[in-house]
Amino acid sequence: MIQTGQMPGILLCRHAVTSKKQLLESLCRRVARHAGLCERSVLDSVIDREKLGSTAIGDGIALPHATITGAATTSSLLATLDQPVEFDSPDGRPVDIVMLVLGSDRDGAGHLATLGLASRQLRASSHFLRAADSEAALRNAVIGLLAAA
- Nearest 5 degrees, angle CA 86-CA 43-CA 55? 40
The reply to whether 19 falls in a domain is yes
d(CA 26, CA 38): 14
Q: Is-catalytic flag, 127?
A: no
> Domain holding 37: CATH number?
3.40.930.10
pLDDT digits (tens), the chain, 149 positions: 334 446 788 999 999 999 999 999 999 999 999 999 999 999 999 999 999 999 999 999 999 999 998 888 888 899 999 999 999 999 999 999 999 999 888 776 677 777 888 888 888 889 999 999 999 999 998 887 777 66
Q: Is 118 within a domain?
A: yes
Residue 5, in any domain of the structure: no
Residue 111: inside a domain, yes or no? Answer: yes
Within-domain flag for 56: yes
Q: Is residue 1 part of a domain?
A: no
- What pLDDT, on a 0 to 100 scale, did the predictor assign at position 4? 40
Identified catalytic residue from 34, 65, 111, 127 = 65
What local confidence, expressed as pLDDT, does residue 36 receive?
Answer: 92
Question: How buried is 82 (Cβ within 10 angstroms: 0-12 exposed, 13-18 middle, 19+ buried)?
Answer: middle
Q: Which residues contact 139 (CB under 8 A, 6 or more apart)?
A: 7, 11
Can you give the residue range of the structural domain that contains 58? 10-144
For residue 70, is it within any domain?
A: yes
**Tally of structural domains, the chain:** 1
